[in-house]
Amino acid sequence: EAQVTQNPRYLITVTGKKLTVTCSQNMNHEYMSWYRQDPGLGLRQIYYSMNVEVTDKGDVPEGYKVSRKEKRNFPLILESPSPNQTSLYFCASSPTLAGGLNTGELFFGEGSRLTVL
Amino acid sequence: QKEVEQNSGPLSVPEGAIASLNCTYSDRGSQSFFWYRQYSGKSPELIMFIYSNGDKEDGRFTAQLNKASQYVSLLIRDSQPSDSATYLCAVNLGKLIFGTGTRLQVFP
């Protein structure tokens, strides 16, 4: 089954304790992205990756890191979480057109709800 | 001005009616437009995309695009309670820019 898998689905942590949210896709998509979703603010892009070893900042990258060492995996790292990073996080992947632009057809993981105390 | 704007709703329609969801965008260079549906507590899923001016129909769903007026809309005919969800409009500018979504409630 084609899917994007995120873990953990739910996490409560404390300020400053490093955490990683994993994301894996089995569709051989080149494009992967992380979003956070907050009430009234909608989906905002954190980081994205056009291919292995190619990552770039989205609209709200502060406080986050990513890596793309393999095509299928795109972990999101919070080195020192703070309460304002409490949010619902989605990983997504997409096939790309020639030239690297993603098609806009995103396949989302089930989401990871993070609470930072 | 936000790049993609939607009325947050809720939009309440009776079962069997037509639900009309609207979205405006600011960048005239936008070429492709998407509607995602998100059920409460779930992830967004793509339901329609449109690239050209005019209407595009898929079952009970019709996407309408007017590039001159910079709006895109989604019509849901014969609305069902199972259509109750938040509908996200997205514009592709090399990356997807999402609106904040319109919550639709279909009551029996």
Opening angle at CA B33, ends A70 and B69, nearest 5: 150
Classify B99 as helix, strand or coil: coil
Ranges in chain B, pLDDT < 50: none
- Tokens linked to A86: 């409490």
CA–CA separation, B79 vs B95, rounded Å? 31
Q: What is the mean pLDDT of chain A?
A: 92
Question: Given this model, what pLDDT does residue A40 score?
Answer: 85
* CA dist., res. B24 & res. A115, Å (int): 33
Question: How far apart are the CA of A41 and the nearest CA of chain B, in angstroms?
Answer: 6
Q: Give the number of other Cβ atoms within 10 Å of residue A33's Cβ.
A: 27
Structure tokens at A80: 């020192």
Interchain contact, B34 vs A104, CB within 8 Å: yes
The answer to whether the CB atoms of A110 and B101 lie below 8 A apart is no
Residues A105, B95, A4: CA angle, nearest 5 degrees? 45
Q: State residue B21's pLDDT score.
A: 97
Asked if residue A99 has pLDDT above 60, the reply is: no
Contact A86, A114 (CB under 8 A): yes
Contact A108, A23 (CB under 8 A): no
Q: Nearest to residue A80, comparing CAs of A65, A66, A63? A: A63
Residue A100 pLDDT greater than 70, yes or no: no
pLDDT per residue over A21-77, tens digit each? 999 999 999 999 999 999 888 899 999 998 999 999 999 999 999 999 999 999 999
A83 within 8 A of A116, measured Cβ to Cβ: yes
How far A45 CA sits from the closest chain B CA (Å)?
8
For B100, which of A41, A109, A110 is closest by C-beta distance?
A: A41
Buried b (16+ CB within 10 A) or exposed e, B8-33: eeebebeeeeebebbbbbeeeebebb
